[in-house]
Amino acid sequence: MESGNKVIDEAAQGSATVVESENKDGRKVYIESYGCQMNFSDSEIVASILVKDGFSTTKNLEEADLVFVNTCSIREKAEQTVRQRLRSFQNAKKNKPELQIGVLGCMAERLKSKFLEEEKLVDIVVGPDAYRDLPNLVKQVDEGKKAVNVILSKEETYADISPVRLSSNGVSAFVSITRGCDNMCTFCVVPFTRGRERSRDPETILNEARDLFNKGYKEVTLLGQNVDSYLWYGKEGLKKDYKNLSDEEKARSMNFGQLMEQVALISPKLRVRFSTSHPKDITDEFLDIMAKYDNICKYIHLPFQSGNTRVLEKMNRGYTREWYMGRIDKIKAVMPDCAISADIIAGFCSETEEEHKETLSMMEYVKYDFSYMFKYSERPNTAAAKKFEDDVPEADKSKRLSEIIALQNKHSLEINQSYVGKTFEVLVEKPSKRNDQELAGRTSQNTVVVFPKEEYKVGDYVTVKIDNCTGGTLLGKAVK
């Protein structure tokens, strides 16, 4: 999954979603989110649906009447984290027996009503396409029943749900543009938990982005499991139906490049990001649009998973090592300053030591700014679980992963060192964690920059000259 929308922010795992609401007397909901950015964005939809129905949100577990955990299934470890967290609610439920506990998201979809058998304290199980049903499900529990809705939809994009935002920095926000995934990578559970791919009406996307800009936001990130395959053709529907359209209907359709251009045109002062891209679908047309607009950030998250063509084929990724390198060459040709990051899996079924070396040599070829790196974790019911043996010994997986991590750390530091002495436009997001006399923001390339506050504030664009760095952060001073 290019779960990047799937970009997993470790620091944010388990954080609570709170929205401003008028319903001060309403029952209080506490929502905790795990996994990819899509889940965090969905929690805002859930909060919006519940607030509309008279509930209010809280950051305080102790005062909650309902607890929702938005869950992730991408790897075994993600599921274990959620189960541990659920068990930690036992005391809260003992103290307040009427407390309702609900699981949302990918684990809810994967386990369905089995969840109710396995985790006795759970009352509600809701899949990612059934959030509009939440008020009814809560009522069922009020009546003493348990409640489950895990129906996946071919149309639901929550296009009309007006955006509510995490008590965020007020500078950057996420906007979902597609839901689901049709790629069927053999290792991945996402096509089963999030269903078929659908694109959201571009009008609603543009309205949401414009509205954010008018409210003072300076950056939007367009989210989808595979943003490059965004395709709107006049109605919410499955992408595979596109081929049955008339030529006239096809001419009215909108692809990802066209959508991106429209969002970029809202204002040169609105930065646009996107996640996640798929190497088989990222087009020259899109890269040219990206190069044309300064406010489209020069950063691409382009997971490669493995550097070996046989392994890629076994993963059903739809590209070869050479194809991927060709995409990288094109990116570097049209945007020499573009940062690239990746997702990498170590020890997929039958991967040999030589094949693993090709993953390392791909890293050398690209020199990623940053990577998310994982050991292969077999997921129930995926094609890999059914057809292949998870046969790389744990010790080998660990060794390969540590080699990948060591190489990435080396590259991240080298790249950051190459930025020293250069000047970047930084969008300020927050005060620095370590020192309140400093501000933190990001460059177009998505690298974090920390610099002395002086007269600047959150939301400003500041030109900063870099004079030092670590592997993760650039340090510098504002240039007047």
- Residues at the interface with ligand SF4 (CB under 6 A): 1-3, 181, 183-185, 188, 190-191, 225-226, 278
Q: Which stretch binds ligand 5AD (CB under 6 A): 55-63, 116-124, 369-377, 441-449?
A: 369-377
Compute the least distance from the CB of residue 345 to ligand 5AD, in Å: 5
End-to-end CA distance of the chain: 42
Compute the least distance from the CB of residue 350 to ligand 5AD, in Å: 15
Q: What are phi and psi of 232, to 5 degrees?
A: -110, 130
Compute the least distance from the CB of residue 58 to ligand SF4, in Å: 32
Please state, as a whole number, how many other Cβ atoms lie within 10 Å of the Cβ of residue 156. Answer: 19
Among 361, 377, 417, 473, binds ligand 5AD (CB under 6 A): 377
Q: Which stretch binds ligand 5AD (CB under 6 A): 2-10, 105-113, 137-145, 192-200?
A: 2-10
Q: Which is nearer to ligand SF4, 305 or 416 (CB)?
A: 305
Compute the least distance from the CB of residue 92 to ligand SF4, in Å: 33
Distance CA 19, CA 21 (A): 6
Convert 308-331 to b/e letters by CB count within 10 Å (16 or more is b): bbebbebbebebbbeebbebbeeb
Name which of ligand SF4, ligand 5AD, none residue 181 binds, using a CB cut-off of 5 to 8 Å depending on partner kind: ligand SF4
Cβ-count burial of 413 within 10 angstroms (0-12 exposed, 13-18 middle, 19+ buried)? middle
Please state, as a whole number, how many other Cβ atoms lie within 10 Å of the Cβ of residue 470. Answer: 13
Among 105, 163, 303, 476, binds ligand 5AD (CB under 6 A): 303
Compute the least distance from the CB of residue 185 to ligand 5AD, in Å: 7
34 binds ligand 5AD (CB under 6 A): no
74 binds ligand 5AD (CB under 6 A): yes
For ligand 5AD, the binding residues in 157-216 under the rule CB under 6 A are 187-188
Q: Which is nearer to ligand 5AD, 370 or 376 (CB)?
A: 376
The closest alpha carbon to 422, from 446, 391, 443, belongs to: 443
Q: What are phi and psi of 5, to 5 degrees?
A: -45, -5
The closest alpha carbon to 92, from 139, 58, 54, 135, belongs to: 58
Tokens of 404: 């990948």
Q: Which is nearer to ligand SF4, 46 or 185 (CB)?
A: 185
Name which of ligand SF4, ligand 5AD, none residue 31 binds, using a CB cut-off of 5 to 8 Å depending on partner kind: none
Compute the least distance from the CB of residue 304 to ligand 5AD, in Å: 9
Distance CA 364, CA 358 (A): 10
The closest alpha carbon to 303, from 282, 279, 283, 320, belongs to: 279
- For residue 12, the number of C-alpha atoms closer than 13 Å in the C-beta half-sphere is 20
Compute the least distance from the CB of residue 28 to ligand SF4, in Å: 34
Compute the least distance from the CB of residue 105 to ligand SF4, in Å: 14
Q: Which is nearer to ligand 5AD, 68 or 372 (CB)?
A: 372
Please state, as a whole number, how many other Cβ atoms lie within 10 Å of the Cβ of residue 146. Answer: 14
Name which of ligand 5AD, ligand SF4, none residue 225 binds, using a CB cut-off of 5 to 8 Å depending on partner kind: ligand SF4
374 binds ligand 5AD (CB under 6 A): yes
Please state, as a whole number, how many other Cβ atoms lie within 10 Å of the Cβ of residue 59. Answer: 13
The closest alpha carbon to 177, from 201, 195, 154, belongs to: 201
228 binds ligand 5AD (CB under 6 A): no
In eight-state DSSP terms, residue 22 is: S
Compute the least distance from the CB of residue 372 to ligand 5AD, in Å: 6
Run of H or E residues at 46: helix 37-52
Tokens of 463: 């030109």
376 binds ligand 5AD (CB under 6 A): yes
For ligand 5AD, the binding residues in 333-352 under the rule CB under 6 A are 343, 345
Q: Which is nearer to ligand 5AD, 2 or 123 (CB)?
A: 2
Q: Which stretch binds ligand 5AD (CB under 6 A): 1-9, 78-86, 150-158, 221-229?
A: 1-9
Q: Which is nearer to ligand SF4, 302 or 469 (CB)?
A: 302
Distance CA 217, CA 194 (A): 29
DSSP 338-403: -EEEEEEEES-TT--HHHHHHHHHHHHHH--SEEEEEE----TTSHHHHHS---S-HHHHHHHHHH
Compute the least distance from the CB of residue 461 to ligand 5AD, in Å: 31
Compute the least distance from the CB of residue 101 to ligand 5AD, in Å: 27
Contacts with ligand 5AD, residue ranges (CB under 6 A): 1-3, 6, 74-75, 187-188, 303, 305, 343, 345, 374, 376-377, 379
